[in-house]
């Protein structure tokens, strides 16, 4: 048998050189922190070829605190928490294991050389070596330089090994840990097969770690029972064929499913478009009714206006006659007065009175005009929303002014102070309010104008095939360009070399894609321009990438996400690669969680402290290689929207300017009020002058002359009054005439509208998407709802049409988005314009029809044929192979249970037994496998295994389902037929029968004694025995088991039972254990070491002891587990002593 005989280390931990000898059972005993685990770690480092991922260094330290041991710390001899607490600054570490065949005495040497230095992180595996037939001595690892013993240089040691290997003819140097471990297992194999490397690594680590970090089922399944794939070539070929066809079917079905998502949205769009067109046609039909009503109303209003105009003209004729009569009488009295004898004496005064009266009338007229203008200005202005805040304040004062004007009385100073002056003050306030709004509107127009400029710039980018930028980034870009600079968004300069990764890369990079790359000679000015954009011009959050600071032309790490960033501009590529840094691409869950920073295609981002999921960017919103039709339509809509907003602002500005012009003459209340008061003062002065001269004339003139003047004045005032009435009537006739013309025009227009509405309705019904059946289903209901109000009927129809159109656009957007994803996902191309959704819909319908009727049907037919072939192959080949594996399972568990049955009981009189239970849903398939082995694969007159159960197809389909690569199937792995556990047995004290009292899976948890630790050793021993293939008496190969902190907190009963179990399995045990267990373990030890550590000098010393068979037997003789009669003898002695005491 193969036995590990020696461990030789150089510059490892606190040892400059150390050798220990091993026998069948070897132990190292010492207190905590003495370094007793270091030699076990040296052995596992050599066994694993220095692969730190496999090694479980200082394995049991995890019970209380996480270990800080590493290959580097072992090489440098770190003995404290600080990295400065080390034995050496540089190390060339050798760990060599010497094995010996106990039958042929042939040696085998293997090990690793590791280099480490205090001035660099990590370590370097210099080499791995395997030398059958040779024993490497300590001197082979050392050389004398300047009188001092030092590790031999690796290059020298390597040449030495190569020279020795020439005689062997085999490979002795290994650069890969996996190949090294496989070669070691092959070289140390026994008469059975070589251990499988994966099973060995897993079982070896489990024995060191001794933890229930997985379920009992998983531990037994994966660590105790060997993985034996169902390696049937023909079945593999058939399964692969079925798999490929099933994948094709699944791909076609997935493609059909994705295509139907597109088609569903396009179908919705077509349905909503049909409804929109039909509702639009119904609106036009209803509009005909409204047009007819409008025409009838216009005709009626024209008739009324015509009658009113005729009546006014008739009244005007009557007024003209009355004016002619009054004027004739005035003239008659004027001539009589002028012919009177007194006229020559008083004519001058009379002329002056007339002139003064005329001036007074003019002033009154101008005053009323000013006040009327003030009143009209407010009447016109209060309708504007700009002055709505003043309505409540102005209305009462304005009402008083209207009353004053309607009274025809000359206003007094009190009237001016109480009515006119307050309104003047409100006018001044209104002008100030409008002026402030004008300034605000000017700033708002400037902002919207800038937005329009940015939106048009973004549209120009899209038309050039580039994605639109965020508004603040576009604003900064425009400003820099206006300053003569030439920044370029990095998204315009790069590309993604693998389209499948673009969605997640853009999700991660986010706004970094819109960073503006500035050349080195423009960086300073760009910084200054950006910094000086303050106030309303300020931009925040936009990024500038400095070309001068990018590390150009550095290759991206293999397998990284950054590797997928390409392009012709090195600085832009370097900038985005720098953002991605060291993130690796990952596919499986294991790959994603194994790395420091990883990213999967579906958005799972793993970083040092945790992981998150990114929302993927839809293809229609890609920044890199963008400029899609969706982008263009959205941006054109934004330009239209902003332009419309600017138009509205210009309209408001025009209204505001008009209002300000109206109020400008009243903008200074003091001056406007003074003007009114001055005119009123002048009227009063003229009135007094007229009154004085009239009094003078009355006192001096003849009574007849005065009477003639009075009659002249009476008839003149009458003519004047009638003239005013005539003027008003003429004005009214003008308005009535204009209104009549307008109404007549309205009538003509209404008739044209009737014709146009009829034509539009007829044309709408001819539209190819007009649905007459849908019209029938809606029209009667419309008549019921809106029969009395056709206008509401029209509005309702157009509202429904707009809603249907909105739903159609939403469906089109969703459909085009899904269409874009579909085209990219399946690498499809259209021969026609892909931006026309109707053409896209027709193309998709044709594609789905072909996929469903041709491709899918053909693939399914081939898949069914492959399934039938796989059934026959399974019956003839696979079932037999599975049955052989199941027989191996039974033999393995029976052998392990036999060993456990013959071992002493553990604590509380407990025993353990491996248990398997068939999974219920696989019972019929397992029975079929057994029946095939019993009756043969064919059905004949004597019977047979029967039909293959349905579970076979379910398993086969599940096995090949895309995405189920990590799922295990019993078709591949015989262990998947069962659930595993470990039964806990105890002997009934009455019946002496052994009964099951529990299961280990139900008892897991922390325990201080062997209650929960002992099963770990049972499982670990079974796992290693299975991995080493120690079955059927094959115990001549590798059998090594390392136990760290062996049997810690376990009682003597459990320790003895466990050691006898491990002996029965045939394992070579090398353990590190607390000193308190030495007394019990001496019954099993062949050799042990006491370890002492000097903390002052940081040295470790071993003291070795051999334990002879006689000594072991001596210790066993005191143990009742080896001598059951001792218990009987002791009980008899105690009983005899008790009887003697009673008799005395």
How far is CA 474 from its chain centroid?
Answer: 25
Longest CA pairwise span in the chain (Å): 192
Whether the per-residue pLDDT at 954 is higher than 70: the answer is no
Average pLDDT over every residue of 900-918: 84
* Cβ proximity of 523 and 546 under 8 Å: yes
User: What pLDDT shows up at residue 112?
Assistant: 97
Average pLDDT over every residue of 922-951: 68
Residue 1109 lies in a domain: no
User: What pLDDT shows up at residue 1126?
Assistant: 62
User: What pLDDT shows up at residue 108?
Assistant: 95
543 CB-contact burial (10 Å; exposed 0-12 / middle 13-18 / buried 19+): middle
Whether the per-residue pLDDT at 542 is higher than 70: the answer is yes
Residue 1001 lies in a domain: no
In this prediction, residue 114 has a pLDDT band, given cuts at 50, 70 and 90, of very high
Helices 421-463 and 391-406, axial angle in degrees (round to 10): 130
* Cβ proximity of 86 and 114 under 8 Å: no
Do 653 and 622 share a structural domain?
no
Whether the per-residue pLDDT at 1082 is higher than 50: the answer is yes
Residue 488 lies in a domain: yes
In this prediction, residue 1009 has a pLDDT band, given cuts at 50, 70 and 90, of very low
Whether the per-residue pLDDT at 269 is higher than 80: the answer is yes
533: containing domain: 469-626
User: What pLDDT shows up at residue 967?
Assistant: 56
Choose the weakest-confidence range: 67-81, 451-465, 568-582, 783-797.
451-465
Whether the per-residue pLDDT at 630 is higher than 70: the answer is no
* Cβ proximity of 146 and 15 under 8 Å: no
User: What pLDDT shows up at residue 245?
Assistant: 74
Do 181 and 66 share a structural domain?
yes
Give 500's DSSP letter.
Answer: G
Under DSSP, is residue 195 helix (H, G, I), strand (E, B) or coil?
coil
Residue 500 lies in a domain: yes
Do 130 and 62 share a structural domain?
yes
Bigger pLDDT: 951 vs 1075: 1075
Do 527 and 435 share a structural domain?
no
Do 523 and 418 share a structural domain?
no
Whether the per-residue pLDDT at 525 is higher than 60: the answer is yes
Bigger pLDDT: 42 vs 892: 42
What are the pLDDT digits (tens) for 288-300? 989 999 999 999 9
- Please tell me the total count of domains within the chain: 4
| Sign of the alpha-carbon dihedral angle for 22, 26, 29, 33 | positive
Choose the weakest-confidence range: 179-193, 627-641, 774-788, 1041-1055.
627-641
Query: HEC string of 714-746?
Result: HHHHHHHHHHHHHHHHHHHHHHHHHHHHHHHHH
Rounded Cα distance, 1058 and 1085, in Å:
13
User: What pLDDT shows up at residue 193?
Assistant: 75
Do 401 and 531 share a structural domain?
no
Choose the weakest-confidence range: 50-59, 343-352, 604-613, 966-975.
343-352
What are the pLDDT digits (tens) for 791-809? 898 999 999 999 999 999 9
Name the nearest CA neighbour of 5 among 112, 93, 106, 123.
Answer: 106
Q: Check residue 132 and give left, alpha or beta (phi > 0: left; psi -120 to 50: alpha).
A: beta
Name the nearest CA neighbour of 1000 among 911, 1083, 1084, 935.
Answer: 911
Whether the per-residue pLDDT at 461 is higher than 80: the answer is no
Residue 1003 lies in a domain: no
Name the nearest CA neighbour of 151 among 206, 80, 95.
Answer: 95
Average pLDDT over every residue of 3-12: 96
Do 621 and 503 share a structural domain?
yes
Choose the weakest-confidence range: 25-29, 592-596, 689-693.
689-693
In this prediction, residue 527 has a pLDDT band, given cuts at 50, 70 and 90, of very high
The pLDDT mean for the chain works out to 84
Bigger pLDDT: 615 vs 1027: 615
* Cβ proximity of 1068 and 4 under 8 Å: yes
| Sign of the alpha-carbon dihedral angle for 1100, 1105, 1106, 1109 | negative
User: What pLDDT shows up at residue 939?
Assistant: 53
Q: What percent of the chain has pLDDT over 90?
A: 33
Q: Which two tokens stand for residue 1046?
A: 């062996």
* Cβ proximity of 173 and 162 under 8 Å: yes
pTM of the entire predicted model: 0.49
Whether the per-residue pLDDT at 631 is higher than 70: the answer is no
Looking up residue 30, the CATH number of its domain turns out to be 3.40.1140.10
User: What pLDDT shows up at residue 458?
Assistant: 72
Rounded Cα distance, 675 and 670, in Å:
9
Do 603 and 523 share a structural domain?
yes
Do 434 and 504 share a structural domain?
no
Choose the weakest-confidence range: 190-194, 813-817, 956-960, 1070-1074.
956-960
Do 611 and 510 share a structural domain?
yes
User: What pLDDT shows up at residue 969?
Assistant: 76
What are the pLDDT digits (tens) for 241-261? 777 777 788 888 888 899 999
Do 57 and 154 share a structural domain?
yes
User: What pLDDT shows up at residue 5?
Assistant: 97
Bigger pLDDT: 124 vs 637: 124
Counted residue by residue, the chain has a size of: 1144
User: What pLDDT shows up at residue 1129?
Assistant: 67
User: What pLDDT shows up at residue 397?
Assistant: 82
Residue 1076 lies in a domain: no
* Cβ proximity of 782 and 344 under 8 Å: no
In this prediction, residue 18 has a pLDDT band, given cuts at 50, 70 and 90, of very high
User: What pLDDT shows up at residue 1025?
Assistant: 86
Q: Which of 704-713, 946-955, 1096-1105 has the highest mean pLDDT?
A: 1096-1105
The radius of gyration computed from the CA coordinates of the chain, to the nearest angstrom, equals 54
Average pLDDT over every residue of 165-178: 84
Q: What percent of the chain has pLDDT over 70?
A: 91
Residue 162 lies in a domain: yes
Do 487 and 413 share a structural domain?
no
Bigger pLDDT: 200 vs 952: 200
Residue 738 lies in a domain: no
756 CB-contact burial (10 Å; exposed 0-12 / middle 13-18 / buried 19+): middle
What are the pLDDT digits (tens) for 828-885? 877 666 678 888 898 889 988 988 888 777 877 877 777 777 667 676 677 778 888 8
In this prediction, residue 75 has a pLDDT band, given cuts at 50, 70 and 90, of very high
User: What pLDDT shows up at residue 345?
Assistant: 61
User: What pLDDT shows up at residue 1144?
Assistant: 65
Strand order of the β-sheet with 910-918 is 910-918, 978-987, 994-999
Average pLDDT over every residue of 547-568: 89
User: What pLDDT shows up at residue 1128?
Assistant: 64
In this prediction, residue 69 has a pLDDT band, given cuts at 50, 70 and 90, of confident
CA 35-38-42 angle, 5° bins: 165
């Amino acid at each position: 048998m193969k036995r590990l005989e020696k461990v030789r280390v150089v510059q490892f931990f606190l040892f400059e050189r150390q050798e220990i000898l091993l026998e069948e059972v070897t132990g190292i005993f010492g207190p905590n922190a003495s370094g007793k685990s270091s030699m076990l770690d040296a052995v596992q480092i050599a066994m694993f070829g220095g692969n730190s991922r496999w090694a479980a260094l200082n394995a049991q330290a995890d019970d209380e605190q996480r270990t800080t041991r590493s290959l580097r710390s072992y090489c440098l001899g770190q003995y404290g928490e600080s990295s400065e607490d080390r034995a050496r600054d540089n190390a060339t570490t050798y760990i060599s294991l010497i094995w010996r065949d106990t039958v042929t005495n042939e040696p085998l040497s293997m090990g690793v050389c590791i280099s480490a230095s205090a001035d660099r992180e990590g370590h370097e595996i210099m080499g791995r070596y395997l030398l059958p037939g040779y024993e490497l001595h300590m001197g082979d690892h050392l050389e004398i330089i300047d009188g001092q013993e030092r590790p031999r240089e690796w290059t020298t040691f390597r040449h030495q090994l190569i020279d020795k290997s020439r005689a062997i003819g085999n490979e002795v140097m290994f650069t890969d840990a996996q190949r090294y471990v496989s070669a070691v297992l092959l070289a140390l194999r026994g008469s059975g097969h070589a251990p499988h490397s994966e099973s060995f690594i897993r079982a070896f680590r489990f024995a060191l770690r001794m933890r229930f970090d997985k379920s009992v089922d998983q531990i037994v399944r994966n660590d105790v029972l060997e993985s034996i794939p169902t390696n049937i070539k023909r079945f593999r070929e058939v399964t692969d064929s079925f798999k490929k066809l099933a994948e094709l079917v699944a791909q076609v079905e997935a493609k059909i499913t994705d295509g139907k998502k597109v088609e569903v949205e396009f179908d919705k769009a077509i349905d909503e478009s049909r409804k929109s067109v039909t509702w639009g046609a119904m609106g036009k039909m209803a509009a005909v009714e409204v047009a007819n009503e409008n025409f009838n109303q216009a005709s009626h209003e024209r008739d009324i206006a015509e009658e009113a105009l005729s009546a006014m003209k008739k009244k005007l004729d009557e007024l003209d006659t009355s004016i002619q009569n009054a004027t004739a009488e005035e003239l008659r009295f004027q001539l009589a007065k002028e012919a009177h004898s007194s006229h020559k004496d008083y004519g001058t005064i009379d002329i002056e009175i007339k002139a003064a009266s005329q001036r007074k009338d003019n002033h009154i007229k101008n005053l009323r005009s000013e006040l009327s203008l003030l009143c009209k200005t407010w009447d016109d202005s209060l309708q504007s929303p700009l002055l709505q805040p003043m309505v409540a304040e102005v209305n009462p004062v304005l009402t008083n002014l209207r009353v004053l004007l309607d009274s025809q009385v000359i206003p007094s100073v009190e009237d001016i102070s109480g009515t006119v002056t307050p309104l003047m003050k409100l006018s001044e306030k209104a002008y100030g309010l409008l002026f402030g709004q004008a300034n605000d509107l000017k700033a708002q127009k400037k902002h919207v104008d800038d937005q329009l400029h940015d939106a048009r710039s973004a549209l120009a980018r899209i038309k050039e095939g580039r994605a639109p930028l965020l508004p603040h980034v576009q604003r900064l870009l425009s400003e820099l360009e206006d300053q003569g600079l030439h920044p370029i968004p990095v998204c315009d300069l790069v590309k993604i070399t693998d389209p499948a990764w673009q969605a997640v890369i853009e999700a991660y990079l986010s706004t970094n894609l819109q960073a503006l790359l500035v050349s080195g000679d423009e960086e300073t000015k760009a910084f200054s321009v950006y910094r000086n954009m303050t106030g309303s011009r300020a931009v925040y959050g936009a990024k500038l990438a400095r070309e001068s600071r990018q590390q150009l032309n550095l290759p991206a790490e293999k397998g990284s996400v950054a590797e997928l960033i390409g392009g012709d501009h090195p600085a832009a590529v370097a900038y985005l690669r720098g953002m991605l840094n060291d993130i690796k691409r990952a596919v499986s869950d294991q790959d994603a969680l194994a790395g420091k920073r990883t990213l999967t295609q579906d958005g799972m981002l793993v970083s040092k402290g945790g992981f998150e999921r990114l929302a993927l960017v839809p293809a229609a919103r890609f920044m890199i290689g963008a400029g899609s039709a969706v982008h263009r339509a959205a941006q054109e809509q934004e330009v239209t929207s902003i332009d419309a907003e600017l138009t509205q602002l210009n309209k408001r500005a025009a209204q505001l300017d008009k209002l300000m012009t109206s109020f400008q003459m009243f903008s200074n209340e003091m001056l406007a009020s003074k003007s009114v008061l001055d005119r009123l003062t002048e009227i009063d002065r003229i009135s007094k002058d007229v009154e004085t001269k009239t009094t003078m004339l009355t006192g001096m003139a003849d009574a007849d002359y005065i009477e003639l003047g009075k009659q002249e004045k009476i008839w003149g005032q009458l003519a004047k009054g009638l003239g005013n009435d005539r003027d008003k009537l003429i004005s009214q006739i003008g308005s009535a005439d204009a209104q009549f013309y307008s109404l007549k025009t309205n009538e003509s227009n209404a008739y044209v509208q009737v014709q146009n509405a009829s034509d539009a309705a007829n044309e709408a019904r001819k539209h190819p998407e007009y649905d007459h059946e849908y019209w029938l289903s809606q029209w009667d209901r419309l008549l019921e709802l809106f029969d009395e109000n056709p206008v509401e009927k029209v509005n309702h129809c157009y509202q429904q049409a707009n809603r249907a159109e909105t739903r159609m656009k939403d469906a089109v957007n969703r459909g085009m988005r899904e269409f874009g994803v579909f085209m990219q996902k399946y690498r499809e191309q259209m021969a026609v314009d892909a931006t026309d959704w109707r053409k896209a819909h027709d193309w998709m319908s044709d594609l789905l029809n072909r996929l469903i009727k041709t491709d899918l049907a053909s693939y399914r037919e081939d898949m069914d044929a492959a399934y039938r072939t796989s059934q026959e192959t399974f019956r003839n080949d696979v079932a037999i192979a599975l049955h052989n594996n199941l027989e191996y399972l039974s033999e393995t568990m029976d052998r392990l249970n036999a060993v456990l049955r013959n071992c002493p009981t553990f604590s509380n009189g407990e025993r353990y037994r491996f248990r398997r239970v068939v999974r219920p849903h696989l019972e019929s398939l397992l029975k079929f496998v057994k029946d095939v082995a019993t009756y043969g694969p064919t059905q004949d007159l004597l019977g047979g295994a029967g039909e293959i159960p349905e579970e076979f197809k379910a398993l086969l389909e599940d096995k090949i389902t895309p995405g189920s690569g990590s799922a295990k199937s019993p078709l591949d792995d015989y262990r998947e037929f069962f659930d595993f556990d470990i039964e806990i047995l105890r002997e009934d004290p009455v019946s002496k029968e052994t009964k099951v009292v529990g299961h280990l899976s139900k008892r897991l948890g922390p325990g201080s004694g062997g209650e929960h630790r002992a099963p770990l050793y049972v499982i670990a021993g079974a796992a290693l025995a299975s991995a080493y293939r120690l079955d059927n008496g094959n115990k001549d190969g590798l059998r090594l088991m390392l136990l760290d902190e062996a049997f810690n907190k376990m009682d003597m009963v459990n320790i003895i039972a466990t050691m006898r179990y491990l002996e029965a399995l045939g394992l070579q045990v090398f353990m590190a254990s607390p000193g308190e267990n030495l007394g019990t373990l001496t019954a099993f030890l062949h050799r042990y070491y006491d370890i002492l550590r000097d903390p002052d000098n940081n040295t470790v010393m071993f003291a070795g002891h051999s334990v002879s068979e006689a000594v072991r037997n001596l210790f066993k003789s005191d143990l009742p587990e080896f001598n059951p009669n001792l218990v009987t003898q002791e009980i008899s002695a105690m009983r005899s002593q008790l009887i003697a005491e009673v008799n005395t």
